[in-house]
Structure 1
């Protein structure tokens, strides 16, 4: 979900895949990723050393982060440092408007479910998929290949750029 308040767009995760009763939220300024005026609200849980938190959602916009990565927050409650990578990746797909007759979103949802992968949707056009192992990804790519070639879907890896804080 996205909401704009006083010129700042906040992106939230309505159903974080690892949400539990001990989760908390922190903001991440997306300006270092060329998304000025945007903040992503990530779900975290404390792990190990005081001040270390594990990412419990699949980032929609933040680069260099994935489910299970360990981060630190600053005094303001904002994520400012990546401590340790989890070894997972996130594949993000954006479906453009107008939608073609051969809309692949339902097929993608089925393929993600059959492959046993975790995913989060931001609305009905933007999905982030947890990728613990690349070997399970071919059916996912096959579902959206036609739309990618036709220019009605676009994809990227969240680790296409390194994590960077303001």
Structure 2
């Protein structure tokens, strides 16, 4: 199976490791209203049908920046073959208070995660495993305050 014209494809306009990326592939996210949904991903080819992920997944679970993945012959993500030790968080700001939003973004940036925006409201973050709890605690605090919603990229 591969992405077809007319199906939803989430794209990465500015992959965090774009300077290393030399390959674009897709991951199937499921089906909505009878149409397949995909996430277009950027990677660095390491061997035939193997790439290291060079972007932070906006929607996929259990795949993180730097993971080495195996692709099908149609260049669709099949499985993770080596974990990078990175943890993904997704932050949704929505129609929240703009002042609190700016403060939150500034505080998140101060923690120095790798960041990638999907839209003006959806931010993907990547941190090393040893920083994940600190980030989760901060995001939970801000969620409790009603400033944002977040989720971890692991199911």
TM (norm. structure 1) is 0.76
Q: Distance in 1 between the 2:42 and 2:115 partners?
A: 14
The structure with the greater share of residues assigned to strand is 2
Q: Describe the shift of the 1:150–1:107 C-alpha distance in structure 2 as closer, same or farther (beyond 3 A).
A: closer
- Give the drift of 1:137: 6.0
1:68-127 per-position Cα deviation (integer Å, ceiling 9, x unaligned): 001011111111121111111101111233x235532x2233223322221001111001
Query: What is the RMSD of the two structures over their aligned residues, measured on CA atoms?
Result: 2.5
1:155 equivalent in structure 2 = 150
Q: Distance in 1 between the 2:21 and 2:54 partners?
A: 11
For the 8 Å contact 2:20–2:54, the answer to whether it is kept is no
1:73 equivalent in structure 2 = 71
Q: Which one of the candidate residues 79, 93, 97 is aligned to 1:100?
A: 97
2:122 equivalent in structure 1 = 126
Q: SS state of the match for residue 91, structure 2? A: strand
1:46 equivalent in structure 2 = 45
- Give the drift of 1:141: 4.7
Structure 1: stretches of 5+ with no match in the other structure: 162-166
For the 8 Å contact 2:139–2:150, the answer to whether it is kept is no
TM (norm. structure 2) is 0.81
Q: Describe the shift of the 1:70–1:27 C-alpha distance in structure 2 as closer, same or farther (beyond 3 A).
A: same
Q: SS state of the match for residue 57, structure 2? A: coil
Q: SS state of the match for residue 8, structure 2? A: strand
2:10 equivalent in structure 1 = 11
Q: Describe the shift of the 1:15–1:61 C-alpha distance in structure 2 as closer, same or farther (beyond 3 A).
A: same
Q: Distance in 2 between the 1:21 and 1:57 partners?
A: 10
